[in-house]
Structure 1
Amino acid sequence: MISKNYTVLLLFFIVLFCNAQESIKYKSNSYSATPNWEFICNSYVLSGAINIQIASTETGGILKLAVKTTDENFIISGNVYVDLKDVSFILCTDKNYREYTNGQAITYYNFTVAEMKRLKTTNIQDIRFNISGKKNTFSNQVGNFTAINKSTYFSTIYHNTNKIFETAAAISLL
C-alpha cells in the first residue's frame, strides 16, 4: 500500500515537471525549448527588446524570434546572424515560416546538429535581424537591428546577479 502511494506521488511530480518545461510549437509539432529570453535591442524603439527561444529537434534545432509590431504587415525577414562569445557566428537563412499572434511578429529559423553543438558550448553574444514591411506615418520601424544578450539595461558594480542570459547552459539541458 505504501509503495502504491509513493508511485502515485512520483507520477504526480513527473507530470508536474514535464508540464512546467517550455515548449515551441513548430509545424504542428511540439518541441522542448529553453526559457524565453528577452534580449535588449536599443535601436528598436517600439519595444526595446526581442524575445528569443531555442528548441531541440531530431534534425538540429529551432530559433524562435518574436518582436512587437504595430500590425501584421511587419515581419522579421531575411538572414539572421547569431554572434557567439567566441567571436564566431551562425548564419540562419529565412525559410518563410512566420506567424503573427498577440501583437508579435514571430519567425522561425533552423539550426543544424553541428550548430546546436556549438550553441551548447558557447553563449550567444547578440543576434542581428531585419524587420521589413510597408512603412508609413506612425507605423513600425523597419531595417536592421541588433539584439544584445543583456538581462537589464542598467546595473552597478554592486549588482551581484548575472547581467547576461546563460544560453549555453540552458541549451545543453535540452
Structure 2
Amino acid sequence: MRQTILIITFILSYAVNVNGQNFVFIGENSYPSTEKFMLQSNSDREDIGNLNLVFAKDGRTSLIIVSSKLTDGVKIAKKLIIYLDDGTVILCTDRGINDNVDNVAISAYYLTASELSKMKISNINTVRFEIVCPVCGPFNSWEGVYSASNKGNSETNFTEAVTDFFKE
C-alpha cells in the first residue's frame, strides 16, 4: 500500500511539472520559457501594439524573446535596449533569430550572465525595439524605433521572474 501511494505521488508530481512547462516557438526551434508578460506600448499609433516578452533557455544560453502583433513581413530586428529602474541600460545585439507568423513578429536576443544578474536586482522599466520591413518598399509606414513600458495594470516584477526562471 505504501509503495502504491509513493508511486501515485511521484506520477502526480511529475505530471504537474510537465504540464507547467511553457515553450516559445521561433521558426523550427522551441525553447523552454517563462509565462508571457506584457509591456504597454508607448506609441500613439493604433497599428503598433503592446510588446510581449518571455525569458527562455537554449541549453545553457539565456534569452529574452519579444513579440508583437503587427503585420505580415514585418520583423522586430536590430538592437533591443532594456532600461532598468536603477538606470542600467542593457544593449542586446540582433543575432537574426526572428520570425513572423500569423502576423506576430517575434525575435530572440541572448542575455549574458552579467545582464541577468543586473535584472535580478533591478526591475525592467522600458524596452526599446526596432521594427523593420524588408519587403515593404518605399512606402513603408511600419519601420521605426518604438518602446513599451512596464506600467499600469500589467506591471510585472521581472526581478522575481528572472530569479525564479534562471535558478542555478
TM tier, smaller: 0.7 to 0.9
The Cα offsets for residues 51-85 of structure 1, whole Å up to 9 and x where unpaired, read as: 111124554410111111121x2111111101011
Q: Does 1:62 align with 2:63?
A: yes
Query: Normalization by structure 2: what TM-score?
Result: 0.83
What one-letter code is carried by the residue in structure 1 that aligns with 2:155?
I
* SS of aligned partner of 1:18: helix
Q: Secondary structure at the match of 1:15?
A: helix
Q: Which residue of 2 aligns with 1:30?
A: 31
Residues 39, 151 of structure 1: 8 Å contact kept: no
Query: Aligned partner of 1:171: which letter?
Result: V
1:9 is matched with 9
- Opposite residue 100 of structure 1, the aligned amino acid is N
Shift of 1:150: 1.9
How far apart are 1:29 and its partner, in Å? 5.0
1:99 Cα offset (Å): 1.3
Q: Percent identity?
A: 22
Question: May I ask how many residue pairs the two structures share in their alignment?
Answer: 161
* Counterparts in 2 of 1:77 and 1:28: CA distance versus 1, 3 Å: closer
Mark the CA change 1:147 to 1:36 in structure 2 (over 3 Å): closer, same or farther.
Answer: same
2-structure distance, mates of 1:120, 1:24:
22
For 2:34 and 2:90, locate their aligned partners in 1 and report how far apart those are by CA, in whole Å: 18
Give the unaligned 5+ runs of structure 1.
153-162
Q: Helix, strand or coil for the counterpart of 1:12?
A: helix
Q: Secondary structure at the match of 1:78?
A: strand
Cα deviation, residue 47, structure 1:
4.9
Q: Which runs of 5 or more residues in structure 2 are unaligned?
A: none
Counterpart amino acid of residue 71 in structure 2: T
Alignment correspondent of 1:48 = 49
What corresponds to 2:101 in structure 1? 101
Q: Which amino acid aligns with 1:50?
A: L
CA root-mean-square deviation: 2.3
Q: 1:136 to 1:172 in 2, by over 3 A?
A: same
Partner of 1:84: 84
1: CA distance, partners of 2:86 / 2:106: 28
2-side partners of 1:141 and 1:120: how far apart?
Answer: 33
In 2, distance between residues paired with 1:59 and 1:114?
14
1:135 positional shift: 5.9
Q: Distance in 1 between matches of 2:6 and 2:48?
A: 48
- Which structure features the higher share of helix residues? 2
| Structure 1 CA distance for aligned equivalents of residues 137 and 152 of structure 2 | 30
Distance 1:57 1:113 in 2: 14
